[in-house]
Structures are given as C-alpha cells and as structure tokens.
Structure 1
Amino acid sequence: MAASKSALYSAGLHVIFLTLQVQSELSVQMEDAVEFSVGETAQISCSYFFSEKPPGVIIQWTASKGDRKRIYNSNITVSFSDELPDFVGRINISWDSEDDRRGETVLTIMDLKVKDEQKFACQVDGMSAGMQEHQTSLKVFESPDSPEIEDAESIFRVDSNERLKVATCKTRNGYPRPKITWYRDRTTLQQSTDVFIQQREIQESSGLFTIESELYYVVTKQDKDALFYCEVTYQLPGETRMMESKHINITVHYPSTKTEMWISHPKRQVKEGDTVEISCRGNGNPPSYFLFSKEDFEMDFEQDGEKLLLKNVTRADSGTYLCDPMDINVILDQHQGKTKLQVHYLDEVVLTAEKGRVMKLGDSQKIACNALSSLSTHTKWFKGGKTIGEEHVLELQNVSYGMAGEYRCQVTVSSLPNLHRSAAIHIITLGPPMITSPDDVIMDTHIGDFLNLTCEALGSPTPTLTWKVNNSQMTGWSNHLEGRTLSALDMKVTSNLTVSCIAINEEGTDEKFYRVRASISSSLPPDNNGTRAEKVQKESGVIIAVIIISILLLAVLGSILYFLYKKGKISCGHSGKKEITKEKGKKDDIVMEMKTDKTEETVLLQGVNGDKKSLDQCDEYMEVEN
C-alpha cells in the first residue's frame, strides 16, 4: 500500500515538472551483461549525464525474470527488496554524484546464487530534464563436478548387431547446463545407426543441473582394445572449459577366424635331442583351447594350453603338426593351424683305413671319414690336439715312425655347430728299430770318471735295448713307450772303451757305438767336448810367455849391474851377492814347476842358468880382489 502511494506521488511530481517545459538531454549507460560465478559478489553500474542541470534526480532499480519487481527507489523511503525477499541481507545500492548533472549508482549483490540470474534495470528520472532507463543481464556460472563413468559390466559378443549399453556418464551441480560428449579412442561418437545416446537432466532446488548420459553402441571385435570415455563441456565467466572422465575398456568376445601355428623353441634349426615347443594361437577373444595332433599319426601329446612340448626329439618326430581350436562357434576345418617340423640328425662317424690300421714303414695310406647327415657337414682331422687336415679323406704319404699314433676325425653340421660327432683310429707303423742318435760318438774322459750314456730307439713293435762294453754284456735301465724305448747306462771308466747300444725287434736290429778315450786325470776336470788338451796347451803357452818376459828383464838387470861394476860405481860386495842369490831362488822355483813337461821351456831356462853362472864368476872375482 505504501509502495502504491509512493508511485502515485512520484508520477504526480513527474507530471508537474514536465509542464514546466525545461528543455534538457539525458544519457544513461550500463553494460549489456555482466558474468559472475556462484558465491561471488556482483556489481552492476549505472552512470548518467544531463546536458542541463535538472531540477532533481530520482534513481530506481528493478529486477525482472518475467515480471518486473522494484528493488530500490531513491525518492521513497521504503526498505530494500520489499518485493524480492531473496535479496534481503545480500543487496546494497550506492549513489555517487560528481556534480548536479553527472552521477553513478551501483547495485551490489553479495553471495550470488543461481536464482540471481535475471535482468536488472536502472531508471534515471530528471523531472523536466527527462527520464531514461537501461538494463543489464546478470549471468551466473557454476563449474560442475568431475564426470563419473561406469561401464555396463557385461561381456559383449560380436555376433549380435544390436546397439548395447556400453557405459553411463554423469556430471553434477553445474550451471548453466553442462554438455556431455562421448568418445572412442579420441573419435567423437554421434547419433547414428550404430550409436545411440540417451541423455537426462535434473535441476536441483539450488538451480544447479545434474546431467546423465547413456551410450548404446554396436560392438565389433575391433573394440577389444578400444578406450571409451565422456567429456563434459561447461561455461565460466569469459571462458569455456572441458573435463574428461577416466577411460574404460570393454570386454569383447568373438570367435577365431584364423589360427597360427609355429615352432617357438628353439629359434634355430631343430636337431635330435632337442626339446621342441610348438605354439598355436587364434585371433579370437578369449583365446581358444587347442587340441594338437600330428598328420597321419595318432597319439596323445603333452601340451600346456596353447603350447605343445616334444622332449628329446628324433628324426622320427619330423612331420606336419596340427592344432584345432576347441570353440563351439568355430568350424574346425576352416581354422585349423599347421606347421612342419624337420628334425636334423648326424649319424655316428665311420672311419675306414684303405690298408688297415697296421702299416709298413714307408708305406702310404688313405683314411676315409664318413657320417650320414640331413645337412651339409664339415670335416676336420686331429693328431696330438693339432689340426692336420680338413678333407673327407686323409692321405698319409711315406709313413714314418713319427706318423704312427691316434688320428681323430670330427664331423660338424655347418649350420648347427653344436651338432657334431667324432671317431678315432690308431695307426701302427711296423719296421725295424732306428736309433735316433748319430753313430760312432767319440768321447774323451779320464780314468776313474763316471759316464752316463743314453740311447733312444724307435720301432714297431717297441724295440728292446741292450748294452755291450768291449763285447761284454752290460745292464742298464730302460723306459718303454709305445714305439719308443729309452735306455741309460752308468759306468766307471778304467781304460779306453768301446760301448755299443743294440736295439732289437721282430723287424730287425740297429746298433750305435760310443768310443771312449780315457787318460790319466789332471787338475782340470774332464771336458765332454774333448778339448782338455787344447786348454792345457793354451795355458802352457801363456806361462811360457810370462817366463820369457821375466828372463829378458833379468838379463837387462844383469847387464846394468855389470856396467856399473866396470865403471866402479858399485862393488861386488857381500850384500850384492846376497841379493843375487835371492833372485836366483826365484828362478829355480820357476824351473822346478815346469820340469815335468818336456817342452821348449826347458831350453829357455838353460839359457837363464848360463847367465847365472856368469854372475857367480863375478862374485868369485870380487872375492879375490878383496
């Protein structure tokens, strides 16, 4: 009732001022729309300008969401929101005037709610100066909750062409109304013959929306690994945002249309003794259980699901193997898997000697090495751990004792190095003994020395060694190896000897001589190379040279003494005689040392003794003079 009276009063004033015919222009400015989120504080501004000073200004705010309702009138003393109780306590009007012609009023709404979204009008009345009104749309936004997706928790079979419910997507409490879009592996799903989307929305008492969408889809086997998800698109002030749900995978079952079968182990060619693993796999889902068999062969096989195990295979296991998927929806004859197994082999090695194992010394021999195999092979011959040939046939030319022994042939499959076999043959060389040392060895030694003589002989059969010393039988020790005998003889030398080593077998005899020249032992030890005499001769030559030099020095000294004596510089006194006698003793010692050898040293020493006699005569002359 009070509001109606105020309105009539305002209208009456307006009529009165219009009759005054005051000419003026009025401009009112407001934004067309403002945007805020739920819970924020919204401010709607309204500014005005008069070209002439008005007699008065009346401001009025109204809100309309269908029917217009007044919020504020500056000319009437009433409470805010008499007609909009929802704004009580959340609304405020401010009015600021810069001068009599210009001003601004602001409508403030706190703690925005969805229901606050409506149009707000600002009316400026300048009485006779004019009246003008503008309005602003207030838009309110609320971001929804994250989308929730649930799959249908069912198994999809592709033998049906029906659109089946795949998943449900739901988002809550959004404003304005959010939008849900479905995707399969980043591809948008839209309504079609294979896709049907059913959507429901609920607006809560708060004005917020809950959107629920269901996806119906014709599932194919290509969807086995596909990912489905939904996306929510929503508005916020000044922008558009999107949120994705988690990605889900559906369970798709379909029968096999193709079956593969292969040898999964070993990765190389198969040889006898291997454990073979044959795998079988179909393209259906879930994987089928398979029944394994061998073509034209009936037996039970050990299998592990999709794998067939064949242990310690032989060449008899070669053939074509089959696997049949045990699926009631599969026609066995059309989807049977096949694979061929080839088991390679290498038979035992056979060695064939052209002339047998026993040969005569100097003969020639061919030894063939054979081994049957399913693949190409390579042959190697060994003797004493060393490779001696790589041909199928080994040729032995002009056989010697050293060529006797064990020959081993190894045959290897070229493409399967682990597949190899070998065999050995022992070759015996028959022949008379052969002493390995040269004949007629001459040895110089001394009576009383001990000699160690050795003798080695080859032959087949293994020879026997005996010793003779000056035609007398002697016993030494012997070591017998196959085709070889080593013997040694230890003896004391008493005179010149002739020692023989005799080798005997069924094929013949060989003999070796040692000629021992014995001499009387000296200070020098016997020399095995027979050079003792040469050493004595060399050392004797050195001694002779030293003696000659000593004699020459004594001769020079005697001449000097004699010359001095003649000049009277010295006298042949007692002391001089004593010195000469002392020198004489030295010379005698040297002579005594060399007397035992009848060489030219004796002659030279005689010359020295002659000089000595002259000195003795000087001594006698000097005694007479005194």
Structure 2
Amino acid sequence: MFKHSLLIAGFMCWYFPAVLATQRMYVKSGSVANLSCPYETQDVSIKWRGPKNLTIYSINNNVNVQIDVSSRLKVNVESITGTYNLLVLNFTSADTGLYRCDTILNKHSVQHEIVVNVAEAPKHMEIINETSTGKIIGTQDFPVNLICTVDSGVPLNTLEWKNENRSIVGNYSDIVSYSFIATRDQHLKNFTCTANNSFYLVEKKIQLFIYLSPIVKLYVEPSFEIEEGKDVALTCEFESNNDLVELRWIKDNNSLSVSQNNHLLLTNVSKDDEGIYFCEVENQVAINSDQTEIKILYKPRLTDPFKIFEIESSIGQRSYISLNISSATRPYISWTYDPGPVGKLGYWNIQEIGEENYQLCSTIVPYDHSHFRTYGVRVRNSVGILNINVVLVGFTVKVFPTKLVRNLSDEIELNCNVSKNNLNASHMWIHSFSGVEIRILHGKVHDGMSTLHIPFSDYKDAGTYTCKWTSSMETHYSSSHIYVKSHPVLTSLHTFEKNGKTTLEVSFYSFPKPTAVLWFYRDKLITKLQLDNEGHVKEAPVQLFVYNRSVIATGYVTWHQVNETINPVINFFSCQIRNYMGNMDVSFHEYNNTNNTTTINSIDDENKKSLKYYLVGTFLTTVIVIIALGIYKHFYRPSVATNAQNENQREQEEVSRNSSQSSNNHSYDEVDSVYYHSVEWRNYNFEPPASAINDTHVNADYSIGSNDSEKVGDDPDQTRNDIARNSYMELV
C-alpha cells in the first residue's frame, strides 16, 4: 500500500510544475524541532522529506520506519487546521539540513522547504577597560565610553547595553558602545551588556565608579551673627571619594590657610573679622566650596577714628556738629550730663547714609565765654556705647604739614590758617631748636592764612615752627616739626694727653645718622669705623650754634688715640665723617692755626700743682681776713658818723681806683672784685703766654662757632683745674 502511494505521488509531482517556498529555522541541540507544513488537504497525501537527499520521512501521519531517525520522528495533525507538523525529537547537528513538505493543491504540486540548523550561543563576551573588580572608572563631568564585544552565535544575536533593565543602545553585530557624560547620579550604577539570539541569552554586568567632585557644607557655631569680642567656630564638612584632597579657608577672596583642618576658630572677633568666609575643597576632579557671611554686631564707632571734633564758634552763634559713625544696628544718641556751664544744646538728628553708616547732627549755641569747653556725646546700640568729646572753641589754628623732611638746599613752606571769624588777630612764627627759641619770623598773610617760606634750607632751619595767633581775648598755637637732611657739621675738636698718649676727639652733628668715620695719617687711611662701633663712635650731646644761638643737640663723638704727645705729629692727623647726604673732612693742622683754637695745660702734675696753689691761697686769704676783722673790732670802734664818713671816703677811693685802673693798658681783664674793709681781692682771667702755647705737654680744645673755650676731657675735675690755673687772687 505504501509503495503504491509513493508511485502515484511521484508521477503527479513530475507531471505538474512545483511551487517552492523556503523557510530557515534554528533549533537548539537536544530540543524538539517542530516543522510546520502550511498545506491543508484531506483527499491528497502530504509527505515530509528530510536530510539527507530529501528522504521521505512521512506520508500524512505515517512515519517511514525504514530510515535511521524514524524513532525520533513524529507527525502531528492539527485538528483545527488539518496541517501535518513534523517533529524531530532530540535534535542534533546531524539532523540539520533541508526539510520539505509537498502535496497537490488544485492539481498543482506544491512544496514548502525549511532549512533547519542547530542554534549556537554567543561566546567570548568582553567589556573593554573593565577592572579586575568588575568596574568601569570614570570622572564626573567627563565622557565615559562603555564598549562590549562578543563572538556572535547562530542565529545572529542582538548586542545591547541595558541600565535597570532598560535598553540604552543595541545592534546586530559583535560590538556595541555607549558614550555619555558621567554624572553624580551614575556613581555605582550597574550596566549590563546583553547578547540574545532568541535561543541563548548571554550577558555581563559592570559597575560604574565615578570620581566625584567634593560636596562641601559650611556650618557656623553659635551663629553667623556674633557680638564683638566673642568667639565663633566654622566647621567645613565635605564628601570626596578620593584621597587627594586640599582644603582652603578664604575670607573675602583672601586666602587664610591651606591645610587638612576643617575647623576655623575666630576668637575675640571684631569688625575686621566680618565678611564672607569660604571653605574651598579641591580633589583630583574639581574644586567646590561653600560660603557663609559672618556679621559682627559691634558697638558704635567713628568712621574716622582719628578725627578730632573741635568746633569753632562765637558767642550767640549757632555751631553745627556732624558725626559720621558705623553701627551694626540703628543707634541712639544723647548729650551726657555735665553740671558745669553749658551752652544751648540742640536735638540730635539721625540719618542713615549707607549700610551700617549713619550721620548724627546737632547744634550748640554758646552765650558766655565759659561755654567754650568740652561737651560729651554718647552713642548707644544693642551691643554697647561710644563716648565722644566735642570741643567748642573760639577759634582754631592749624599748621600744615605737621611734619616735613627736607634735603639740604630744598625750599620749606609752611601754612598756618586761622578762622575767618578772627582775621584781625596778630600772628608770628617762632622757630625753636632743641627747646631753645632761635628766632621770630613773620609769614605772608592772606585770607586768614599765614605762609612761611624758606627758600634755601640747611641744618640750622630744622626744629619746631610754632604758629602763634593772638586776638584781643586769647592766644592759640599750632606747631610743625621740620627735619633737614644735611652733611655732617663739626661742633668741636679736642686733644687730651695722658700717660704719654694723645687722644684726638671730634664732636659733630649729623642728620641723617653717620654711616662711617675714617681716620687718616698723612692723608693715608689708618682706620674706618662704623656707627655701631660703640668703642669709637657714639651719640653724645654737642653744642651747636643755630643763627647765633647756642643749643645743646644730640650729636656724635668719635676719637682716635695716638702714642705720641708732640704737636707736629698730631697735626698730620685728619678725619672724614660720612652720611648719606655728604662728607665732612677735619684736619687737626688747620684747626691748630685758627683763631678759634684755645690751648690749655693738661698734664696731670700741673693740674694737681695748680689746684694745690689755689687751695693754699684761698686758705691764707681767709685767715688774713679773719685776723684783720678781729683787730678792727678790738682797737677801732668809731662812731656812727665816723663810719658813715669812712664809708663815703671808701666809695670815693673806689671810684678813683676804678678810673685809674681803666686808664691803664693792663694785659689782664678784670672779672670780679670783692672788698673786705681795707682788703680787696680780685679774680682775673688771663691768656697764657706764647711759650705755653708751644709747650708740647698741652691739652688743645677747639670750639667751632664760638670764641668761648669748651672744656671737654676724660677727667670730670679737669674743668675746675683749668679755671683754677687760669685765675689768680690779688691782695690790694
């Protein structure tokens, strides 16, 4: 029966043209291949053919038992559609190939072909740049590229990236990539690479690790508003998932510190601590910061803390007072109580002129001279108080500039103004140097201002210039201090001999300070001294002549010791003193030949001998006077009239004697006379003879700018000895 059916079917297929329809199908190895034939027929048979060589597998629902795979074949007839489906059980790669079902429809032979292959899974899936811990490293706000590769299976698979089971990107190839800008939200998110060919699903997960910019938060304790004098603590908290962190504290764009310390303590805060504080944290990704504004609640303060509130007024005149202050809150102001005489005090008007800045205005009207005095003002806010003194004066005098430094030969100009309400006041300039009044000057007055002009200045023009204005009621002063930079100025030369050695001493005045002192012998440098060498250059008071006035100023003294006591040797020494303005050269030979040179003995033995003569002479004189007085009292007691007559006679003798003395060309000048009845003692100063000047054992003393000798030496008794040696007592 089966053979007969095959013959009929073969004849019909040969006779009628075939209609081909081919389908491709994949089956997993070991599963059931369900091959569906789309033809429905009831009176014509349906045949299934398969590999190899399209062997007949079944006719209708009858399986060909003669083939090897018959045991794994089965034909199902769909009851609804009437179609015949071929089932291949436990499908293997040997079962792959071309399958065909054929039949006759409408007298035509039709065929449906199915190529069946074994499905294969994708293999060797790999994620590029994956770390050993299954992570992809990225940086916030920078691109991240996810790349997945796979060896495609059979049939061809889809390859895609998924995030949270949502497909992001995919294709039908062996590589898929996804690029994006990393955000903070994607840190530690999981991404999945999926390869799916409907039979096999291969996937691999990775975790995204994003280096994040720091998160910074700044906290203030106890509050961002703090009273002056208290402490405030700032704490900077931050999050960073990398260790390369640097923290900076910044105030008003000025760096305060760079450290790992996230605490900043402000102690005893003041208005200067007010401002915007930043905590700036930097890691390898970015710099982030947080900020807070610290507001200092402070007591009222003057906008100009150095301003002196001296108000000019006159009796019956309204004087206006204006104070500019800073205050954290709106201030309250009042006059302070004063039991003394006061003028008429006005009310205070407060006007805000800017953030935390206020202008306070009021008036005072004096109606008596006692009202020119100091008035107290108190400004208060929630933090504290500010006391201000307002001085009401009749008129004020101001000199400007108050301090002036000039170089040698520069001009000096000082201005002194006085209130226009007192233009009739007289004025003068008083120049003083080291506390000594030097001269009176008069400036040019115009519109209440006196201008003093000195066209060429030197050291004598330095000092204090006081502008003095005097009205009919009062006098006011104001001063300016002038400093003139000049080369050193010589004040005196001295030589001292002791123990066979001679000390050469130079006293001088210098502003600015001297920088060096050089000593020469026969014009060759023998030593160079610096100012800080206290052994040979030091500060000392010096006598300076300023416009013919002698003043004691702070100067300098330097000295050099010579192992000789011969004048010609000393004459070869010279000295040069330097400062930044110039030099001064001093030659001992030149000053030995000047009229200002005074030579005095200075050997110790002669000093002692002179002192001895002086003391003995004084003692003998005293004894003689006492004896004479005793004899007079015992042997002569004249009457009152006789005493008066003797007194008149003595006065006439004195006049005669003085007249005779002044007519004689005596080589001595009389200094003083003392009379004890008939005994007269006279004290004379004398100039030493020429032989004394040429004596090699001398102490030379030169005073620059004066004919009077200045005695300077190491021995404090030297001056007394010199006076004693240059004087004598004469008994008449």
Same fold (TM over 0.5): no
Structure with the bigger percentage of strand: 2
TM-score (norm 2): 0.30
Larger radius of gyration: 1
TM-score (norm 1): 0.35
